[in-house]
Amino acid sequence: MKNITKSIIALFAVVALSCSVEDVQDRPIIQSVDSPVLTAPTSGASYILIPENAAAQAERFTWKSANYGGSVEVNYTVEMDVKGNAFKAPKELASRKSENQASVSVEIMNGAALALKATPFSPSEFEVRVKSTVGTNVMVSNVAGIVITPYTTESPKLYVIGSFLNASGYGADWTTAPTLPALAASGYGKTDFEGYVNFADASSQYKFLPQNTSFDGDYGNATGPDGTFTGLLLQTGESNAGLPAPKAAGYYKINADTKALTYSVVATSWAVTGSGTPNGWPDNGVQDHNMTYNKTTKVWTVTLALSANEIKFRANDGWDLNLGDTKADGVMEYGGDNIKVPSAGTYTITLDLSSPRNYKYTLTKN
């Protein structure tokens, strides 16, 4: 029995050794012989991307196979980077195994362009290539330069910068930063911007920036010296805009149109009114309940004893600017439905206009 067992073990050892030797002998030697060749697109290709075509093909990338000296599985990656960046931080458009083409959708190409800091609705230059990989062996193709005009489904923004920032709680004066107050357009591709900005200094001067990282493409006042308000915008030869006469510190609603090149600035002071407030609706000649603005939290606040009825927010003791909540979802609309008070009690009420076109409120029972 022992002899039979020894024979079986010896047989398995011979088979295992035989297989290992054959595997080594049959294994191809990986050599970087010929790089892949990108055949489409060619340099100069241009793409104007629109959201309606998100699922459609933007481009079919094709290439000639890389040669690694044998029959091996090759991983291919289509890469894109900003022109002149030498693919230091590329974005992947597609990956394939031992194939010679890849269809890239509008959505994927658009996402890569935005990730590489392209400005929506403006043409930007990029470079594309194909990278082939087998194990640790890597070869890259020729490079093609392309131009992409990406889109965004987010509302574009204008940022307000100026001499008012520090005193108003936004950061250092005339300094680009994520904390800059913003105006938002009504939708992607639109040029009608709206938002609210606190100007703690009556002599404030300001400009509008398409991005909060640089002064590139900034808008200012069309005519007159710094600090003038005309309601007209200009990008070249502009001056710093100012507050309209009579100049006064305050919380302003700003509208700007970068196509019509106009802007307006209206001072606002917000209050709560309605049948749920102690004074009732202002139609009876009573006063609204004024709110107080906090430049640190960026919200308006008031504490009131409310009855289980209705309230609304309005500015400047009038109905030209009033906010309600049509969907009862905490997000407000101009002229929206009255807000129902859940139950009688003392409430801290807040109004937050700091996020442009996304105005919110809270009712917190004390």
Pairing, β 299-306 against β 345-352: antiparallel
pLDDT value of residue 2: 46
Give 362's strand partners. 350
Residue keyed to tokens 């209050």: 271
For the chain, what percent of residues have pLDDT higher than 70?
Answer: 92
Average pLDDT over residues 205-215: 96
Average pLDDT over residues 239-246: 97
- Residue 64 and residue 81: Cα distance in Å, rounded? 21
This prediction's pTM:
0.67
- Residue 104 and residue 95: Cα distance in Å, rounded? 10
The set of residues, in sequence order, having a beta carbon less than 8 Å from that of 125 and lying 6+ positions away, is 82, 83, 145, 146, 147
- Say if residue 357's pLDDT is above 90: yes
Average pLDDT over residues 121-126: 94
The CA-atom distances, in angstroms, between 284 and each of 273, 279, 281, 302, 318 are 11, 9, 6, 21, 13
The CA-atom distances, in angstroms, between 65 and each of 29, 39, 69, 130, 179 are 17, 11, 12, 10, 49
- Say if residue 126's pLDDT is above 90: yes
State whether residue 9 is helix, strand or coil: helix
Pairing, β 124-134 against β 144-149: antiparallel
- Say if residue 26's pLDDT is above 70: no
- Residue 8 and residue 264: Cα distance in Å, rounded? 94
User: In the 8-state DSSP scheme, what is residue 156?
Assistant: P
Average pLDDT over residues 113-123: 93
Q: Per-residue confidence at 334, pLDDT binned at 50, 70, 90? A: very high
- Residue 212 and residue 207: Cα distance in Å, rounded? 12
Contact of 184 with 156, CB cutoff 8 Å:
yes
pLDDT value of residue 360: 97
- Residue 289 and residue 238: Cα distance in Å, rounded? 41
* The two three-digit tokens of residue 195, written as one number: 């938002």
